[in-house]
Amino acid sequence: MPPAGTPAATSASAAAPPSPARPNRVTVGIPAVAPPPPRIAAVIRNVAWVGVAAHAGFIPMFAALGCPRLAVFNVASVVAWVAAWLANRRDHSTLAMGLLTAEVVAHAVLAVLALGWSSGFQYYLIPLIPFVMFNDRLRRRTVAGISAGVFATVMALRAVAPAAGEGGAAAAVGGALAPLLRYGNLAIPLVALGLVSFHFRSASTRAERRMESMASTDPLTGLLNRRSMEQRLREAAHAFTRGGRPFCVVMADVDQFKRVNDVHGHATGDRVLRAVAALFGEGLRANDAVARWGGEEFLLLLPETEAEAAREIAERLRAAAEARLAEAAGITGGVRVTLTFGVALFGGSGTRVNECLRRADEALYAGKAAGRNRVT
């Protein structure tokens, strides 16, 4: 029953919209509807500047080796890497990947043909294979074709590249500069390979977490969905079986919600549901859980809570809803939006989750029949 002597007026602080839920609440984090960016986008975003820096350093090196054409080509390479980074920022990650792949292949071929196999520029082709494979937007045939092409390019270069000391620019790298080029051109591709793998792993982890969140939360309110709450109920029942720790479930329902939708529109109804979620988020304890059970109905799981304590929690939420929900949802004109709660204790031998839910549901509808806006 509602408490006697409900205050006639509420303070300004009580009338304010609910503040955001605490970070450790299960009500936090409404999943985004927009699809996530491709995973290769994160790789390009973080690796592009390594390529820019490397090619910028090659410009004076090739000029010193007497390879002006390669120096000019590396100026174009810097432009290509910056262009790829910009294209990636504009959500054209596949275009950016194609541009970078073409640049790396062309640079490796020209440098190896000019400076010889011992210069080590062929090693830059190795990271291209995982780089291309990590693009989840490409078809398998495309990935296989590009990878096979990279492999064939390496084999062809090995067959036709001049050896160190054969004259021209190749002879220049056969002396004191040879170890620097050989180890530098091995280290940079390995660093690039490590960065590609690291950032793809990070992007994959974020994507998996997002999918897990979407699978366990309600997209409108950010609360747990029914399937996720059912799992938590099974875990709570198992904990009771092992340790005898009781818990309560509380059914909550928005009173006359159909009328809210009919009079004020479905957008307002959605705002009401989100306001209820925010209210629960700030009014429940850190170890409590709340789910959108269906439509305008919510289910609260209160671990290690006796029936009387659960009724007190529900009453506090009911009073807060009566005072604040309408304004939080943007409903004016003195209209109130209220909640009715039904409380059931899980305890005793032979108790099952479904039986506890049935009793909470019966208590809820008993409260509805008694006049709504109450805890039963």
Q: Which pLDDT belongs to residue 274?
A: 94
Say what percent of the chain tops pLDDT 70: 85
In a domain, 10, yes or no: no
Cβ density class 75-107: b for 16+ within 10 Å, e for less: eebbebbebbbebbeeeebbebbbbbbebbbeb
Residues 90 and 199 in one domain: yes
Query: Is there a single domain that holds both residue 211 and residue 304?
Result: no
Whether 99 maps to a domain, the answer reads yes
pLDDT band at residue 17, thresholds of 50, 70 and 90? Answer: very low
Domain presence at residue 318: yes
Q: Count Cβ atoms below 10 Å from residue 49 Cβ, excluding itself.
A: 12
* pLDDT value at residue 170: 55
- Same domain for 354 and 208, yes or no, is no
Are residues 226 and 161 part of one domain?
no
Q: Give Cα 196 distance to the centre of its chain.
A: 19
- Does residue 187 fall inside a structural domain? yes
Nearest to 324 by CA among 265, 272, 257: 272
Look at residue 61 in the predicted model and tell me its pLDDT: 86
Last residue of one domain, picked from the residues 156, 186, 215: 215
pTM, two decimals, is 0.55
Q: Are residues 102 and 206 in the same domain?
A: yes
Task: Give the range with max mean pLDDT: 28-32, 97-101, 162-166, 332-336.
Answer: 97-101
Percent of the chain scored above 90 by pLDDT?
A: 50
181 and 60 housed in the same domain: yes
Q: How many domains does the chain have?
A: 2
> Euclidean distance between the first and final Cα of the chain, in Å?
7
Q: CA 140, CA 127: separation in Å to the nearest integer?
A: 18
DSSP letter (8 states) at residue 3: P
Residues 271 and 158 in one domain: no
Q: Which tens digit of pLDDT belongs to each residue from 312-368? A: 999 999 999 999 988 888 888 778 899 999 999 997 655 789 999 999 999 999 999
- φ/ψ of residue 298, rounded to 5: -125, 155
Give mean pLDDT, residues 145-170.
80
Q: What pLDDT is stored for residue 117 in this prediction? A: 85
The model's pLDDT over 251-304, given as tens digits with 9 standing for 90+, comes to: 999 999 999 988 889 999 999 999 999 999 999 999 999 999 999 999 999 999
**Which of 215, 233, 260 is a domain's end point?**
215
Mean pLDDT of 222-246: 90
244, part of any domain: yes
Q: What is the pLDDT of residues 59-103, one digit of tens each?
A: 998 888 888 999 999 999 999 999 999 999 998 988 999 999 999
pLDDT of residue 130: 86
Secondary structure E strands in 138-259? 247-254
What are the b/e assignments for 318-335, b being 16+ CB within 10 Å? Answer: bbbbbbbbbbbbebeeee
- Mean pLDDT score of the chain, rounded to an integer? 83
Res. 6 pLDDT band, cuts 50 70 90 = very low
Would you say 300 and 288 are in contact if contact means Cβ atoms under 8 Å apart? yes
Residue 289: strand, helix, or coil: strand
pLDDT the model gives residue 9:
37
Alpha-carbon gap, residue 300 to 298, rounded angstroms: 7
- Higher-pLDDT residue of 30 and 369 is 369
Strand order in the sheet with 339-346: 289-294, 297-303, 247-254, 339-346
Q: Are residues 71 and 87 in the same domain?
A: yes
Give residue 102's domain range.
39-215
Q: Tell me what pLDDT residue 333 has.
A: 78
**Range scoring the smallest mean pLDDT among 67-81, 116-130, 198-212, 326-340:** 198-212
How many CB atoms neighbour CB 183 within 10 A?
11
* Same domain flag for 134 and 272: no
Long-range contact pairs involving 302-305 (C-beta distance under 8 Å, separation at least 24)? 302/247, 302/248, 302/249, 302/250, 303/236, 303/239, 303/245, 303/247, 304/245, 304/246, 304/247, 305/246, 305/247, 305/248
Q: What is the Cα–Cα distance from 317 to 259, expressed in whole angstroms? A: 22
CATH code, domain carrying 340: 3.30.70.270
List C-alpha distances in Å: 227 to 38, 189, 256. Answer: 28, 46, 26
* Cα separation, 47 vs 96, whole angstroms: 12
Residue 142: CB atoms within 10 A of its CB come to 13
In a domain, 375, yes or no: no
pLDDT at 36: 57
